[in-house]
Structure 1
Amino acid sequence: MTTKVPFKIAFTSLLMLSTFIVGFKIISFKEPKVSLEGYQIEDGFELSVIASESLLKAPVSMDFDNKGRMWIVEMIGYMPNLEGIGEDEPNGRISILEDLDKDGVVDHSKVFLDKLVLPRAMAFVYGGLLYTDGPKLWFVEIKGDKPGKKTLVDPIYAEGGNVEHSSNGLMMNIDNWIYNANYNFRYQLKNGKWLKEPTSYRGQWGITHDNFGRLYYNNNSVQLQGDYVLPNKAIRNKYFKPSIAEGQKLTNNKVFPIHQTSVNRGYQKGVLDERGYLTEVTASCGPLIYRGGAFPAAYNQNAFVCVPEANLIKRNTLSFNSTQTVATQAIAGKEFIASTDEGFRPVNLFNGPDGAMYIVDMHRGIIQHKAYISQYLAEQLANKKLDTLQNAGRILKVVNKSSKLHAIPDLTKATSKDLVALLSHPNGWLRDRAQQLLIQKKDFSVIKDLVALAKSNNEFSASIHALYVLEGSSFLNFGTVSEIIGQSKQPETIAHALGLIERYANIQNTPQMQAICTQLLAQNNETLDLYLAFSMNNWLKFSNDAFLPVLAQIEKKYADKRVFQEAIVSSLDGKEEQYLNTQNPSTLLKNNLTLAINNHQKKELNPIFVKEKNAVDNRTRGLQLFRSICATCHGADGKGIQDLAPPLKESEYINGSMKRLASIILHGLSGPITVNGKQYQLNNEMPGLANNKDISDEDIADIIRFTQNAFAKDGKNIAASDVKKLRDKKPAGGGLFNEKQLLETDFEK
Structure 2
Amino acid sequence: MLSVLLAFSGCDKRNTSDSEKESFRREVVDKDPPATPLSPEESITKMQLPPGYRVELVASEPMVQEPVALAWDGNGRMYVAEMNTYMKDAQGSGQFERTSRIKLLEDTDWDGKMDKATVFVDSLLLPRAILPVGDQVLVQETNLKHIWSYRDTDGDGVADKKEMVFRNDGIDLRNLEHQNGGLLWNMDNWIYPTRDNLRYKYKDGELVADTLIDNMTGQWGITANDYGRLFFSEAGPGLPAVQIEQMPAYGALNFKDQFTPDFAVPWPVIGTIDAQGGKGALRPEDNTLNHFTSGAGQSIYRGDRMPADMKGDYFIPEPVGRIIKRGEIVNNNGKIQIQNVYQGKDWLASADMNFRPINTYTGPDGAFYIVDMYHGIIQESEWSGPGTYLYGIIQDKELYKNRGMGRIYRVVHEDFELNQKRPNLLNEPASKLITYLEHPNGWWRDNAQQLLVLRNDKSLVPTLEKIALGEKATLSEKSGPVTRIHALWTLDGMGAMNKNILFQALADADPEVRKAAVWISEIYIRQNDQEVIQKLRSIKNDPSPDVRIQLMLSLRENKTEEAQATVKYLLAANPNNEVMQASYNSFVETHRKIAEEKERIKNISPEDRELIAKGAVIYKQLCTNCHGPEGKGIQVGERMPAPPLAGSPRMQGSDRILPIEILLHGLKGPIDGVEYTDMMPSMAGQSDEWIAAVLSYVRNSSEVGNNASVIKPEEVKQVRERIKLIPGGATLQYLEVHKGYRTTERNWAKEQE
TM score, norm. by length of structure 2: 0.73
Within a 5 Å distance, the mapping from 1:697-716 to structure 2 comes to 697=719, 707-709=729-731, 716=734
The residue type paired with residue 260 of structure 1 is: G
141-150 or 561-570, larger mean C-alpha shift: 561-570
Match of 2:513 among 485, 488, 493: 493
CA distance in 1, matches of 2:280, 2:619: 36
Larger Rg belongs to? 1
The equivalent of 1:261 in structure 2 is 272
The equivalent of 2:126 in structure 1 is 118
- The yes-or-no answer on 1:333 pairing with 2:344 is yes
Cα shift readout 1:122-167 (whole Å, capped 9, x = no counterpart) = 1112431111123132223342232314115133587121211111
Match of 1:38 among 46, 49, 62: 46
CA distance in 1, matches of 2:151, 2:367: 28
Cα shift readout 1:172-229 (whole Å, capped 9, x = no counterpart) = 1111111122332212212444211234413221111111212212223435214344
* 8 Å contact from structure 2 (residues 67, 407) kept in 1: yes
The equivalent of 2:149 in structure 1 is 139
Within a 5 Å distance, the mapping from 1:37-436 to structure 2 comes to 37-134=45-142, 135=144, 136-143=146-153, 144=155, 145=157, 146-155=159-168, 159-199=172-212, 200-220=215-235, 221-235=237-251, 242=253, 248-249=258-259, 251-252=261-262, 253-269=264-280, 271-373=282-384, 375-406=388-419, 407-436=421-450
Assess, with a 3 A threshold, how the Cα gap between structure 1 residues 475 and 142 changes in structure 2: closer, same or farther.
farther
Within a 5 Å distance, the mapping from 1:682-697 to structure 2 comes to 695-697=717-719
Percent identity, aligned pairs only?
26
The residue type paired with residue 464 of structure 1 is: I
CA distance in 1, matches of 2:101, 2:460: 39
CA distance in 2, matches of 1:318, 1:203: 18
Assess, with a 3 A threshold, how the Cα gap between structure 1 residues 405 and 91 changes in structure 2: closer, same or farther.
same
CA distance in 2, matches of 1:731, 1:384: 37
Assess, with a 3 A threshold, how the Cα gap between structure 1 residues 100 and 557 changes in structure 2: closer, same or farther.
same
The equivalent of 1:645 in structure 2 is none
Cα shift readout 1:667-690 (whole Å, capped 9, x = no counterpart) = xxxxxxxxxxxxxxxxxxxxxxxx
The residue type paired with residue 312 of structure 2 is: Q
Assess, with a 3 A threshold, how the Cα gap between structure 1 residues 192 and 529 changes in structure 2: closer, same or farther.
same
* 8 Å contact from structure 2 (residues 464, 491) kept in 1: yes
* 8 Å contact from structure 1 (residues 213, 230) kept in 2: no
CA distance in 1, matches of 2:442, 2:511: 20
The equivalent of 2:533 in structure 1 is 513
CA distance in 2, matches of 1:121, 1:69: 17
Assess, with a 3 A threshold, how the Cα gap between structure 1 residues 306 and 322 changes in structure 2: closer, same or farther.
same
CA distance in 2, matches of 1:98, 1:433: 18
CA distance in 2, matches of 1:80, 1:59: 14
CA distance in 2, matches of 1:243, 1:287: 17
Match of 1:611 among 602, 617, 620: 617
Say which SS state the counterpart of residue 69 (structure 2) adopts: strand
The equivalent of 2:549 in structure 1 is 530
The residue type paired with residue 215 of structure 1 is: L
* 8 Å contact from structure 1 (residues 122, 129) kept in 2: yes
* 8 Å contact from structure 2 (residues 219, 232) kept in 1: yes
Q: Deviation at 1:502?
A: 2.5
Say which SS state the counterpart of residue 161 (structure 1) adopts: coil
412-421 or 423-432, larger mean C-alpha shift: 412-421
CA RMSD of superposed structures (Å): 3.8
CA distance in 1, matches of 2:133, 2:741: 50
- The yes-or-no answer on 1:553 pairing with 2:531 is no
CA distance in 2, matches of 1:386, 1:276: 18
Say which SS state the counterpart of residue 549 (structure 1) adopts: helix
CA distance in 2, matches of 1:167, 1:159: 10
CA distance in 1, matches of 2:534, 2:269: 59
The residue type paired with residue 468 of structure 2 is: A
The equivalent of 1:502 in structure 2 is 522
* 8 Å contact from structure 1 (residues 250, 325) kept in 2: no
Assess, with a 3 A threshold, how the Cα gap between structure 1 residues 251 and 216 changes in structure 2: closer, same or farther.
farther
CA distance in 2, matches of 1:736, 1:310: 47
Assess, with a 3 A threshold, how the Cα gap between structure 1 residues 203 and 616 changes in structure 2: closer, same or farther.
closer
Say which SS state the counterpart of residue 349 (structure 1) adopts: strand
Say which SS state the counterpart of residue 556 (structure 1) adopts: helix
The residue type paired with residue 243 of structure 2 is: D
* 8 Å contact from structure 2 (residues 66, 83) kept in 1: yes
* 8 Å contact from structure 1 (residues 73, 121) kept in 2: yes
CA distance in 1, matches of 2:356, 2:392: 19
Q: Deviation at 1:305?
A: 0.9
129-138 or 218-227, larger mean C-alpha shift: 218-227
Q: Deviation at 1:290?
A: 0.8
CA distance in 2, matches of 1:127, 1:326: 37
The residue type paired with residue 138 of structure 1 is: W
CA distance in 1, matches of 2:309, 2:176: 36
* 8 Å contact from structure 1 (residues 202, 247) kept in 2: no
* 8 Å contact from structure 2 (residues 183, 193) kept in 1: yes
CA distance in 1, matches of 2:490, 2:727: 51
TM score, norm. by length of structure 1: 0.74
Say which SS state the counterpart of residue 273 (structure 1) adopts: coil
- The yes-or-no answer on 1:482 pairing with 2:492 is no
CA distance in 2, matches of 1:247, 1:86: 41
Assess, with a 3 A threshold, how the Cα gap between structure 1 residues 247 and 725 changes in structure 2: closer, same or farther.
farther
- The yes-or-no answer on 1:12 pairing with 2:39 is yes
CA distance in 2, matches of 1:403, 1:326: 29
Within a 5 Å distance, the mapping from 1:553-632 to structure 2 comes to 553-568=569-584, 598=596, 601-602=599-600, 611=617
The residue type paired with residue 509 of structure 2 is: K
Assess, with a 3 A threshold, how the Cα gap between structure 1 residues 547 and 45 changes in structure 2: closer, same or farther.
same
Matched residues, number: 612
* 8 Å contact from structure 2 (residues 67, 373) kept in 1: yes
Assess, with a 3 A threshold, how the Cα gap between structure 1 residues 439 and 350 changes in structure 2: closer, same or farther.
same
Q: Deviation at 1:75?
A: 0.3
The residue type paired with residue 515 of structure 2 is: A
Assess, with a 3 A threshold, how the Cα gap between structure 1 residues 450 and 261 changes in structure 2: closer, same or farther.
same
The residue type paired with residue 248 of structure 2 is: N
Say which SS state the counterpart of residue 564 (structure 2) adopts: helix
Say which SS state the counterpart of residue 57 (structure 2) adopts: strand
* 8 Å contact from structure 2 (residues 437, 444) kept in 1: yes
Cα shift readout 1:543-586 (whole Å, capped 9, x = no counterpart) = 31x2332122211111233421345468xx8xx7xxxxxxxxxx
The equivalent of 2:494 in structure 1 is 473
Stretches of structure 1 lacking an aligned partner (at least 5 in a row): 1-5, 14-32, 236-240, 577-590, 620-653, 659-664, 666-690, 738-749
* 8 Å contact from structure 2 (residues 301, 313) kept in 1: yes
CA distance in 2, matches of 1:370, 1:175: 38
Assess, with a 3 A threshold, how the Cα gap between structure 1 residues 509 and 107 changes in structure 2: closer, same or farther.
closer
CA distance in 2, matches of 1:381, 1:703: 29
108-117 or 557-566, larger mean C-alpha shift: 557-566
Cα shift readout 1:444-485 (whole Å, capped 9, x = no counterpart) = 222122112222275462222111111111112334323322
Say which SS state the counterpart of residue 280 (structure 2) adopts: coil
CA distance in 2, matches of 1:39, 1:128: 36
